[in-house]
């Protein structure tokens, strides 16, 4: 049986996830990005639902998205768009995240989006860079104010 404190933490995480998704939709509309191109839905689930996990910490969250997007942009620049290029970019992003200690599984979508949609280098700054930082700040504030949970375990 799950105790009351655990249930409340789960509900607070779920509510935070819902609020974060709503804000992501507003950010996408305001930034004129189609919602499919804003890669944070699964990151929100991880950061709000399992905040103690290593891939949910800010280094992994922000770094993973930046590293994976950068790999996608480099592959796109080197070989152009295409399904094989996207597959290579995703594989290389896994290696790059591991090497930089920024492993964040949801960021694996970034190089796929970049190469598959022939996105420009500005995508690295917005929505990816700005969005990842905003998500980390949102998670910090939400966990502190609503869940009364000390997140993150470390910032970097």
**Looking at the predicted structure, is the pLDDT value of residue 118 above 90?**
yes
Residue 10's contacts (CB-CB under 8 Å, 6 or more residues apart) are 2, 49
CA distance 53 to 71: 24
pLDDT tens-digit map of 47-100: 999 999 999 999 999 999 999 999 999 999 999 999 999 999 999 999 999 999
Residue 53's contacts (CB-CB under 8 Å, 6 or more residues apart) are 46
Q: Which two tokens stand for residue 126?
A: 């917005």
Kindly report the backbone phi and psi dihedral angles of residue 33, in degrees, each rounded to the nearest multiple of 5, phi listed first: -100, 135
Angle at 130 between CA 126 and CA 132, to 5 degrees: 115
Give the pTM: 0.93
pLDDT tens-digit map of 10-33: 999 999 999 999 998 888 888 777
């Amino acid at each position: 049986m799950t105790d009351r404190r655990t249930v409340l933490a789960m509900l607070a995480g779920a509510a935070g996830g819902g609020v974060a998704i709503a804000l992501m939709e507003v950010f996408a509309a305001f930034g004129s990005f189609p919602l499919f191109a804003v890669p944070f839905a699964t990151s929100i689930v991880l950061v709000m639902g399992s905040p103690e996990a290593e891939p949910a910490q800010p280094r992994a969250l922000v770094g993973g998205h930046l590293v994976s997007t950068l790999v996608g942009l480099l592959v796109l620049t080197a070989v152009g768009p295409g399904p094989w290029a996207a597959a290579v970019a995703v594989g290389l992003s896994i290696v790059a995240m591991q090497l930089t200690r920024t492993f964040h599984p949801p960021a694996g979508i970034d190089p796929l989006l970049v190469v598959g949609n022939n996105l420009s280098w500005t995508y690295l700054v917005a929505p990816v860079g700005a969005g990842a930082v905003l998500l980390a700040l949102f998670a910090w504030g939400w966990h502190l104010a609503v869940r009364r949970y000390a997140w993150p375990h470390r910032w970097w």
